[in-house]
Structure 1
Amino acid sequence: MCSKIAFLGGGSFGTALSIMLAKKGVLAKIWDRNKDVVDDINIKKENIRYLHGAVIPVGVEAFTDIKEVVQDSEYIVLAVPSHVVRNLCKDIREIVSENQIIISIAKGIEAGSGKRLSQVISEELPNNSVVILSGPSHAEEVAQDIPTTVVVASEKMEYAKKVQDLFMTNKFRVYTNEDIIGVEIGGAVKNIIALAAGVSDGIGYGDNTKAALMTRGMSEIVRIGTKLGGKKETFAGLTGIGDLIVTCTSMHSRNRRAGILIGKGSTAEEATREIGMVVEGIKACKAFYELKEKLGISMPITDVLYKVIFEGKEPKYGVYELMTRDKKGEEY
């Protein structure tokens, strides 16, 4: 295979995917604005800042010139945090061609508008096909060839199948799903629940509490996901319960680690600085809080977490409020 793929953003997951693809013969170019990251990849053969310990193989090169990375690539992966996606698309609008497939690996929605990332990309790059890649896939494990499964979704499934073929290996299994709304919403909201699970850990609560948060959190994912047009069965799959499990239980998870720090008394800003990378759950919490208020959807965990992060509510008192809400049936 001699496909060419561009990764815009030198973060952990994009780097891990480039390593995996290079091993199967794909030529991968990484763009990052940080020259130190680029030099580490090219000279030290390691992304020291974002994926320490993973060896960069032959077939992966990094650049600070975005045009050099984008040109001649068949696929362009937007490997940046969700809040950067629109501006990045604007930056490359004049240098992409219509036949290049855009792949988004971020998990979130746009603050303010509440738009899914595929919608944001399509607004800025209307002539390009967009594919979402999502699922339970920690970068650290993908880079180590630990068996992983993900989902690709698109409004044009022939392009999702092309991406499936491109990424599929004997250690990285890729499924397709026509429900792009469900895939995107599941991947975004689970970050909120993972952050809450981390807060629970930081407070010192146990497995019972985490099981409750994950299960009731799943109800919130389904509630808003179906309201927005997603299919209920999608949330029982890899980008729903699958991603929720891995993000709530692993110390690879930035959201869980940040939540632990918040549960121990750190502010969201202090936790983000300690993690050293974007914590998508914090941004998602604000975006989905605003969206659920607008739509009139009950999301009590999201509601309490928002008040902990943005209004200074004591985490333990937030849990007390959740536990003492009005009685109701489990289906609600």
Structure 2
Amino acid sequence: MQYHPGSGTSRLTSELLRVQRELHGEGEFGVCCTCGNTDALVKTLELLTEPGDTVLVEAYTWPGFLSMLGPRRRRAVGVAIDERGALPRALDAALATLEQEEGPKQRLFYTIPTGHNPTGMTVDLERKKQLYDVCRRRGVVVLEDDPYYFLEFNDPSASFLSLDTDGRVVRLDSAAKIVAPGLRLGWASASPAFVEKYRLFSEGSTQFPSGLSQTALLHLLTDRDKWTAHLRHVVDDYRRRRDLLADALAAELDPALATFQLPASGMFFWLKQLVTPDAADLQDDFVDAGVAVVPGRCFRSTFGADKARDADTSVDPCPYLRLTFAFGQDHHIRTGVRRVAQVLKRRANA
């Protein structure tokens, strides 16, 4: 319960480094504790970018990250995606355009490679290699935000960190999805030089993560059997919930109303409804039906600009909805899907 270094207690950081080397290889990286991924993202932006800089993101991404950019005078440029992640050619083209417009400079590519929020996709190894090669050739730092890494339902995929050969990956892991979000605890893995800068930044701001939170995570990690059993329990429960939601969607929704792909990790379904060009048009109907879903446009890399011109019919429609199976009991999931189906059926028959 005493003061600690900004990087966390030595016992926990040593244990986390052991875990990271087992999972991501013996690369030249260090580890420091963070106050959760949100705080770590803010600090990374401050350390690696400047006002006026452009950050590359997936065309659909977590709006929490986008909300960090504007107040810090950074802007986002979206990179087209498919079911395997960002398209390497699209990333390369976006970087080439930026170099022409702004000249050569270090840039940041923000990605959520596992159980992507919102699409649920997981980037495979071959696509990661292609994206990493583009970033290496163009001098780009990969900001690998991976809070759903431990929620893979099959064999874990290799990380960007495991591919890193020259210290251009900053990887963020989190205890939020596998222990408790209220711990506000995560860990960053990156080059020793970045880890040291992050430590100094933390000591001048948040100081260090909660000692109680660090003790709780250390207690889990140091008992290898307990840690393994805990992760297995969490993954099994999320897999069961995923299958429950998938079965409910298949039972309630005709493919003429909506389509989806089964996510291989994480906690999200990316439902493409087919009854109206823009899922946002259905939001009032979902509220009236008593079900919470998020229209896909809220996750677009241009969302801030979209909000500023909502009255402009030039805003591209987005047919997608994000659903989650992370909350509620089983009957809540079934009831929620039933209500979604009822809204789509009513609109289709209107």
Report the TM-score range of the alignment, normalised by the length of the smaller protein: 0.3 to 0.5
Q: Which has the higher contact order (CA 8 A, sep 6+)?
A: 2
TM-score calculated relative to the size of structure 2: 0.34
Whichever structure has more helix as a proportion of its residues is 1
Larger Rg computed on CA atoms? 2
